[in-house]
Structure 1
């Protein structure tokens, strides 16, 4: 997570124009841990897709509604729109902070640009923004629509396109910043976490476990497989278990919760018990089969209480049925 140099951490609320008006994050949003917001911003819109295509534009506009250089990718896409209310900051200041933060976290900057008047064809211009958002349309209505609706006091805009190779896979970050009006700065941050396989059946390795623990404080134990509606580990889980053991033995002082999750199908009591039994099965396997000290692992089940995605789709439910290792 980024730490802003020379700033203080802020919570989810901000006094705006007076001591009465207060802006807050909209309900039901969770900030992506990969990138920390600019102090004073609030989340006004968010849309998360477990798996979808995304076109990352890396070059200027080359023709009518056309960009010549694209990276076509797919994976988990998290789109979060922030607003900053007030006249004490400029879009260029917020842009520069995000650029510095990405560079300090060893992201490769593969495209960047600002346009004070939004004219021209370069990255960050109004044309560029229009083409990229046509290629990656906003599928959920909300305040993010301000990106393409100027006002009489609209100012400049800027875009940063960044890439990072992580143990858990490639990640792309696209930051759009625009001066919507003299007292409103909008920022859309798109994060694309490239997945090797849509099914998520690739077993996690020790390096990826360490990367996610360091970055998020938790890791989804991909490759752990149970019999249908049971807490019986299948033989396909062995590579994942061995990777977990490798990580635990390399980090002997770390303690963890093993947390089971389910989708929302079935009764609450059934899912709570199933998730707890599955967490216990993983902990028991690590302790009894591989000799990990029992005091290092504390199993719990939370059933459907902490979904990673909506339970309305098959892919969402599939992702919600998981076991995580959470650092104490």
Structure 2
């Protein structure tokens, strides 16, 4: 896949550090195709959400743990933490390379800031980063927590917030770079891919399903589409079914509930039956078309009993109409 950003090293930084041959990415980590790492970095932590809300602050801190200028978005979120171990680079070199690469690829820079002491209220300052991580907490423990530990503030840090309009939709990128220790530079890259979620075309994939299942024991099966007020699967559901079958094949020892949900419009009895029929339709499609063993999928419908958003508006009701895979 095309690399949209190449974090090419600036002049005078082409030396090879001896540790690189020994350093390895953590198991299962996959570099996002949009951004290529700074040479010598390794992936020390990664978390992927197929769909979640995300806040992208682009202005300075305007109050206690508060920023006025924030873009509230949602979509597929990929968070990857890279580390660079060695004393032959500085955080400012890594920061400048990423900034140059973003600008070279015509990203719109929404905010940026870099300093050795991280004072002030602007993008990249200590107070700004504190707000960012409160709004978008690192939900899965690991080495990325060094970004919020506060042990490297004297070493300096920088943040870049950027936006790209692509054929596949809008993407927001936030890059945090920190001199965590004299021989340790950390970089957290957050990528939010928006358009698919905004248009309702987001499709679950096996990689994100595995991440959600590991963290929450369930995953929303985005991309499953039914005829209006019916339990008949539409042809455009095939891409999602393909991904679900791929995930099930990769986890042959696990069994799941297929759980249907509705909004609160209509009677409870009607919604309970509709949600049950839709769960059954998904389970049957996986059994019949993908040879998934019958005893691995148990369909149930709970109607409007477990909303994820308020049913007061159309947007909330749309999110509540869903099918989930829940680990048994």
Residues 88-131 of structure 1, C-alpha deviation per residue, up to 9 Å, x if partnerless? 00100000000011111111001001121011111111111111
Q: Which residue of 2 aligns with 1:67?
A: 67
1:16 aligns with 2:22: no
8 A Cα contact 1:118 1:157, kept in partner: yes
Residues 152-181 of structure 1, C-alpha deviation per residue, up to 9 Å, x if partnerless? 784111000000111111000000000011
Quote the Cα distance in structure 1 between the aligned partners of 2:152 and 2:128: 21
8 A Cα contact 2:81 2:188, kept in partner: yes
Quote the Cα distance in structure 1 between the aligned partners of 2:143 and 2:112: 24
8 A Cα contact 2:169 2:193, kept in partner: yes
Q: Which residue of 2 aligns with 1:29?
A: 29
Instruction: Work out the number of aligned pairs and report it.
Output: 232
Q: Classify 1:36/1:149 alpha carbon distance in 2 versus 1 (closer, same or farther; 3 Å).
A: same
Quote the Cα distance in structure 2 between the aligned partners of 1:316 and 1:52: 17
Q: Which residue of 2 aligns with 1:293?
A: none
Q: Which residue of 2 aligns with 1:158?
A: 158
1:3 aligns with 2:6: yes
8 A Cα contact 1:147 1:178, kept in partner: yes
8 A Cα contact 1:45 1:144, kept in partner: yes
Q: Which residue of 1 aligns with 2:118?
A: 118
Give the structure with the larger helix fraction: 2
Secondary structure (helix, strand or coil) at the match of 1:129 reads helix
Q: Which residue of 2 aligns with 1:186?
A: 186
Residues 17-72 of structure 1, C-alpha deviation per residue, up to 9 Å, x if partnerless? 9x8xx221111111100000000000000000010010000001111101110000
Secondary structure (helix, strand or coil) at the match of 1:23 reads coil
Give the 5 Å matches for 1:63-212. Answer: 63-151=63-151, 154-197=154-197, 200-201=200-201
Give the TM-score normalised by structure 1: 0.61
CA RMSD, Structure 1 to Structure 2 (Å): 3.9
- Gaps (5+ residues) in structure 2? 11-15, 204-221, 228-232, 253-284, 292-321
Quote the Cα distance in structure 2 between the aligned partners of 1:93 and 1:6: 8
Secondary structure (helix, strand or coil) at the match of 1:192 reads strand
Quote the Cα distance in structure 2 between the aligned partners of 1:135 and 1:272: 41
Q: Classify 1:271/1:117 alpha carbon distance in 2 versus 1 (closer, same or farther; 3 Å).
A: same
Q: Classify 1:62/1:193 alpha carbon distance in 2 versus 1 (closer, same or farther; 3 Å).
A: same
> How far 1:134 moved relative to its partner?
0.3
Secondary structure (helix, strand or coil) at the match of 1:16 reads helix
8 A Cα contact 1:14 1:23, kept in partner: no
- Gaps (5+ residues) in structure 1? 8-12, 204-221, 228-233, 241-259, 277-312, 318-328
Give the 5 Å matches for 1:262-281. Answer: 262-265=245-248, 274=289
8 A Cα contact 1:60 1:122, kept in partner: yes
Q: Classify 1:131/1:6 alpha carbon distance in 2 versus 1 (closer, same or farther; 3 Å).
A: closer
8 A Cα contact 1:223 1:236, kept in partner: no
Give the 5 Å matches for 1:193-272. Answer: 193-197=193-197, 200-201=200-201, 236-237=235-236, 261=243, 262-265=245-248
Quote the Cα distance in structure 1 between the aligned partners of 2:150 and 2:17: 25
> How far 1:272 moved relative to its partner?
11
Quote the Cα distance in structure 1 between the aligned partners of 2:152 and 2:55: 31
Q: Which residue of 1 aligns with 2:315?
A: none
Quote the Cα distance in structure 1 between the aligned partners of 2:76 and 2:223: 18
Quote the Cα distance in structure 2 between the aligned partners of 1:79 and 1:73: 15
